[in-house]
Amino acid sequence: MTAHVITSPRFKDNAHEAMLSPPLQKAMGNVERNFIERRAQAAANLPEFEALRDAARDIKTHTLKHLDLYLEAYEKKVVEAGGHVHWAADADAANKIILDICRKAGAETVTKGKSMISEEIGLNAYLEANGVTPVETDLGEYIIQLRGEAPSHIIAPAVHVNKEEVEAEFRRVHTHLDPKRDLSEPTSLLAEARGELRQKFLAADVGITGANFLIAETGTSVIVTNEGNGDLTQILPRVHVVIASLEKITPTLEDASQILRVLARSATGQEMSVYTTFSTGPRRPGDPDGPEEYHVVLLDNGRTAMLGTEFEDMLRCIRCGACMNHCPVYHAIGGHAYGWVYPGPMGAVLTPTLIGVDKGGHLPNASTFCGRCESVCPMRIPLPKLMRHWREREFERHLQPQTVRWGLKTWVFFATRPALYRLATRLAMGTLGRLGRAAGRFKSLPLAGGWTKYRDMPAPEGGTFQAEWAKRRRAA
């Protein structure tokens, strides 16, 4: 069972619908305005920022090359601290392990801190189907859980929802509250969620969080939040479960500190998120609070298969969201169009790995290759290059429509014969230039219907790019 129905195969329709939705377009404007400016400020305020990106990349690269040994070291330290490590090869296995822990704890409700891995494995739907009620406690996750949606952004899951929609949802669900209450301002919505969720935190039997880092040196899991919900999730219930994928392993506290310096700055433009919490094992003798049991579920779900391939670089990803915040395609269509849980450039690379290129193959095509994602990625992941790798695989596996294959083959025929290419383009540009001279544009063109359906094609002025370039070089 998966919580989130995968609609990635109909990406083009999704994108088309998204572009016709005025509320979504307004919400995406918020992303473009806020995140880019804030990150730029934060980066500019730390002279060492670029060098820290190199350091962060090198730490992860080293860790991935020695992942087997760091996993063993990490497990040993968790056990020493009194915790349990569970290994899950795939989503099903992880869900079963977590349900089993919940059942042994006699859990009726579990609170949850924000976890993309939980979204990936469809944990909420699985728990619900098995009689355990999961309650998302991050405000954005709470909103989308009420709406029955997948996140549309990896750090701002409800970024597509406007405040009127939040109000409507709260009125629909919080029926025990005064129907005449004023919820017109974000502050009143936040206060209401705080009140509702406070009760859930105190009543929960099990708390489930993700992890930003798993530290091998000490067997520590680290969460980074602004709301404090992750902490209330993990200190109040009797049992704390951490669900994390295995590439979250980081050698030392110092290494995690290096990466922390680029994480919040890249994500929200904060220098540091409000709460960075390092948890090691269960409650100690004499401790007046904290969980009595501490479990870590280590998930593979296709990640070991990326090691040693061109996609290994993707395992450096720290889920900051900078790539989507800077992506013109994401700005235009939002996160849901990508059709699963990971949107934007990182989703375009990761999704085909996790659900298969047959289902996720459209996503790597949703790029202008402008390169902004790579230019802001704190871990220097070559996202455009990885998207190109997917395009190649998609081509090799004959997954594109026949017309696309013919088009590409035709282009290759000319591109590998430069003289013929120059001749053909000169003839085409000359002809189009003459035909379009009067109107200056074409309303329709053979073989370019995809373009001219939505916009006119400007008429060429007569010369090819190569000819113009050669002319300039001669003049210079």
Partner 1 sequence: MSTVRDAMIARVRRNLGVSGTDVTRRAAVADRLARAPAGLVPARGQLDPDARVALFIAKAEGVQATTERVAAAAEIPAAVAAYLRRHNLPQRVRTGDDPRLAALDWSVGAGLDVTRGPSDGSDLVCVSHAVAGVAETGTLVLTSGPDNPTTLNFLPDVHMVVVDAGTIGGDYETVWRDLRSRLGKGVMPRTVNFVTGPSRSADIEQTLLLGAHGPRSLHVIVVG
- Residue number with CB closer to partner 1 (195 or 418): 195
Q: Could you tell me the smallest distance in angstroms from the CB atom of residue 44 to partner 1?
A: 13
Tally the C-alpha atoms within 13 A of residue 100's C-alpha that lie toward its C-beta: 10
Residues in contact with 223: Cβ distance below 8 Å, sequence separation at least 6, in sequence order: 113, 209, 210, 211, 212, 230, 231, 234, 275, 276, 277, 279
- Residue number with CB closer to partner 1 (190 or 470): 190
- Residue number with CB closer to partner 1 (296 or 366): 296
Rg, C-alpha atoms of the chain: 25
* Distance separating alpha carbons of residues 114 and 368, to the nearest angstrom: 31
DSSP letters for 243-295? EEEGGGEES-HHHHHHHHHHHHHHHTS-SS-SEEEEE-SSPPTT-SSS-SEEE
The DSSP bridge pattern shows strands 213-215 and 109-112 to be unpaired
Q: Could you tell me the smallest distance in angstroms from the CB atom of residue 294 to partner 1?
A: 9
* Distance separating alpha carbons of residues 243 and 282, to the nearest angstrom: 15
Q: Could you tell me the smallest distance in angstroms from the CB atom of residue 268 to partner 1?
A: 7
Q: Could you tell me the smallest distance in angstroms from the CB atom of residue 307 to partner 1?
A: 4
Q: Could you tell me the smallest distance in angstroms from the CB atom of residue 375 to partner 1?
A: 20
Q: Could you tell me the smallest distance in angstroms from the CB atom of residue 201 to partner 1?
A: 8
Which residue has tokens 């934007």? 344
Closest CA to 206 of 294, 309, 268: 294
- Residue number with CB closer to partner 1 (4 or 86): 86
Q: Could you tell me the smallest distance in angstroms from the CB atom of residue 11 to partner 1?
A: 26
- Residue number with CB closer to partner 1 (107 or 297): 297
φ, ψ dihedrals at 218, nearest 5°: -125, -5
* Distance separating alpha carbons of residues 156 and 335, to the nearest angstrom: 10
Token representation of residue 292:
């009595």
